[in-house]
Structures are given as structure tokens and as C-alpha cells.
Amino acid sequence: MPDATNTDLYEITMAMCYRRERMGGTATFDLFVRDLPAERGFLVAAGVESALDLLEGFRIGEEETEAFAAALGRPRQDLEPLRDLTFTGEAKAVPEGRIVLAGEPLMEVTAPITEAQLVETCLLNRISHQTAIASKAARCVLAAAGRPVVDFSLRRTHGAQAGHQAARLGALVGFAGTSNVAAAVREGIPAVGTMAHSFVEAFPTEEDAFRAFARCHPGPLTLLVDTYDTERGVQVAARVLRDLDRAEGSAVRLDSGDLGALAVRARALLDAAGLPGVRVVASGGLDEYALDALVRAGAPVDLFAVGTRVGVSADAPSLDSAYKLVEYDGRPVMKLSQHKVTAPGAKQVHRRPDFADVIGLAGEAPPEDGVPLLETVMRHGRRTAPRPSLADLNARFTADLAALPASARRIRAPLAPRAVPSQQLERLTGRVRARTEKAAAAATGDPTRPHGHA
């Protein structure tokens, strides 16, 4: 189905009402994450490029109109007011790869209200998922402390598209490669891989399997050594690599058991066999917590392969993200629901040293030491700049990570910096709250209803 139909039903019902009521005013929506998941000191903005692809290609044509009518159980002509709609608005965003904090708009969309409303679900889907995965992968890079990390997640991600995104986002934050062939080719990421236990089991002996693999594949080899007995597997791999003079650049892979203890033993066996250059690769249920423990214990692992727990961001698989109207037809608006209050008006985020960020109004002067984060990435429904390369995105991420306070980079019990509102934003929030509560009280005939700052 086309992208426009990958949406929640209420987006369509609201859009129909806007058209029927002739509400064509300009709306501004903020897309942000209310609070960080537990054990997160930061987020990595991701999914922006995918979101811009969506906005550029967004169109409600014949097929979409019929799909909407079918979903609503309405005559097709009832949906005609939405036909031929495209996205013609503006988008500001934090450039993909930059580090962001809770409450900061990752994207701000300004367009005629029907257009801005209809893209809500698709934008949240793309940016929320990819930001969650990129943030998890970034913590793996931190935990690895300079050792290479590669992506093995495809077989456990929630669909092929999610697997492709995981590979791309891993590369964005500095992963050295991916096992995902399609992502490797399309995104220009080094393809990496070894063999499965089934390959070893298919041969009469482990040594037969390793020698057959060596005959088929020239160059460095990575031999999976834990199909039967890991220590014996390392000894067999060492013998094959030495006999064939294939040690240079080769590795053994540990995929189960006590990886720290087995890495120590494997290293000792390889060194004793005169193969100090053969690397030790570890995989099997790894994430940043396991990597951190292995690195702190001094495990002699040269490369980490992470899969399931990173590809689905197992400990924080979703973000408390929102897409909220902050201005309509020149009128700042806000939501007053308990624990879900929003701030009104179009905004700018100013990055200050040590991530002492300030969220202000779009037109106000920045702090002397502040640098604006939100950039105009789309005007009149078209990108303002070419798509950046993965190398460009990684450079952004690396620079931000280096500037992030050490307390926020911790794997365990990180302390996330908190963005604060500017005085102008606070004053506007107070005025809009008072106006909104006064209007609500008048509508209900309850003059005792409180208004003003909470």
C-alpha cells in the first residue's frame, strides 16, 4: 500500500472535518520525546532523512482515496475533498546524527492543517523507531571502548525494513559493518559474516568443515569454534590456519557460553600456537551492558557482533514520542492534559556548552553561547539540501558524543542533561494556559475553574 495509507484512521477522519469546515489555516506541529527511557542519558536523532522522503512523496491519489473510503465504510465521493493532496509545507529538524534531549523538538512541521495532520503517524513511526535503534547502537559504540562493533541483527528484527534501518543506523554511529547484504550494498557498508553451526554440523568433522570453508574462500577467514567444544574448536581452527598459512587477518568466533572466560582461553591457545595475529570475535546475545562488562573485565575480544538485543532495542523498544499542535492560524495553542502538557508556539533549540540546552521561541534571540539545532530541511514540500552521506552523519554524531558530559555517556545509571525553556517561552506558555483555561471555564459555566500558571 502507498505511504499515505500507512496511517491511523483518525488522521483521515480529522482531515475530512478540516476540509468540510473549510479550515485551511497554517498549522505547526512539534515532534518530540517527552522523557528518555530508563538507562538512557541521551538520544541520537534519526529517521529524519526517511521522514523527508515521505514528505516529498506524499500524495493522496485514486488508490489512496479508495482505500480511505473502504476503511471508513463511506462512499468514495465522501473522500474526494482529500484527493490530489500533497505535502506543500515546511519542515525544520535536528539534523540526523545529532544528539538530542527529552522535550526538544526533533522535527517541526508547518503546513496547511490537513497536510500537517495527515503525515503525523508516518512521521512518528519513522523517527521514533529509528531514534530508538540509533540510540541503542550508540551506547554499544561507547561500551566497546574503541573496539569494532558489527551488526548481526537482521534475522531477529521486526521485519526486513527494520533490519535495513538497524544496519544503516549502526553505521551512522560508527559500526564497522553489517551481515545484512541488502543494506551493505545499498548503503555502502562493509559486509561481514562467518558461518553457521549448521555448516560445521554438515561435515563429518569440525576440521573438514574449516578446511572446506578455506578452500572456497580466499583471504582471511573467521571460523566458528563453539559448535561442539569451544576449546577444542579453537585448537582445530589454529591447526587449520597454521597449516594453510592463512592466519593473517583471520579470526575465531565465540557465540555461546561464558564469553569472557572463553575469550581468555582462546587467546591463550592461539598465542601458544604461534598465532598472535588471529583475532577473537564475540557474539551471542550481546548489547551495551554485556560489552561494558566484557571490556571492564579485560576480556581479550577484538571485535563484537551485536544482534537481537540491539536490532530491537530490547530494553527500550519504544519512545514516549509525540506530535502535537503548537500553533494554528497564527494562534499559539497547548495541551493541558495531566502529565502531557505541551508548550505552545513554533520553537528553536539552542545547544549550549555541556548540553545546557535552552528551548525557546523560533524568533527570539539565542543565548550568547547558544547554537541553534533546528534547521530548515524542507520548503514548499521539497528538500533544501541533498541527502548527506553516512560519513557526514557519523561526523555529526562523533562531534556531539565527544562534547556530551561523561555522566550522560555512562552505560549504567547515566545522568541525562535537561533542556530548559527560555523566559519568553515560559511567558507565552503562561498566557496561553490562562487563555485556554478561561475559555474552558466560560464554556462550562464554571467561574471557579483555575487558570494561570500551575
Residues 21 and 165 grouped into a single domain: no
Judge whether 397 lies within some domain.
yes
Domain final residue pick, 268, 287, 311 = 311
Q: What is the mean pLDDT of residues 13-19?
A: 97
User: Would you give the distance in Å from CA 203 to the centre of its chain?
Assistant: 41
Q: Strand 26-33: give its sheet, edge to edge.
A: 331-332, 321-328, 26-33, 107-112, 90-93, 375-379, 382-383
Residues in Cβ contact with 233 at an 8 Å cutoff, skipping those fewer than 6 apart: 206, 223, 224, 225, 226, 227, 252
d(CA 259, CA 332): 56
DSSP-derived letter for residue 353 is G
Residues 50 and 110 grouped into a single domain: yes
Residues 149 and 124 grouped into a single domain: no
In this predicted structure, the answer to whether residue 453 has a pLDDT above a threshold of 60 is no
Judge whether 219 lies within some domain.
yes
Taking only the tens place, the pLDDT of each residue in 299-322 is: 999 999 999 999 999 999 999 999
Taking only the tens place, the pLDDT of each residue in 45-57 is: 999 999 999 999 9
Task: Confirm if 333 and 315 have CB atoms less than 8 A apart.
Answer: no
Residues 283 and 374 grouped into a single domain: no
- What local confidence, expressed as pLDDT, does residue 174 receive? 98
Taking only the tens place, the pLDDT of each residue in 193-239 is: 999 999 999 999 999 999 999 999 999 999 999 999 999 999 999 99
Judge whether 250 lies within some domain.
yes
Query: Of the candidates 279, 3, 37, 245, which has an alpha carbon nearest to the alpha carbon of residue 139?
Result: 37
Give how many domains the chain has, as a whole number.
2
Q: What is the mean pLDDT of residues 360-374?
A: 94
Residues 161 and 289 grouped into a single domain: yes
Domain that holds residue 165: 140-311
Judge whether 101 lies within some domain.
yes
- What local confidence, expressed as pLDDT, does residue 2 receive? 57
Domain harbouring 276, CATH code? 3.20.20.70
Domain harbouring 66, CATH code? 3.20.140.10
Judge whether 118 lies within some domain.
yes
Residues 171 and 270 grouped into a single domain: yes
Residues 145 and 253 grouped into a single domain: yes
Query: Of the candidates 425, 298, 418, which has an alpha carbon nearest to the alpha carbon of residue 41?
Result: 418
In this prediction the pTM is 0.95
- What local confidence, expressed as pLDDT, does residue 53 receive? 96
- What local confidence, expressed as pLDDT, does residue 1 receive? 47
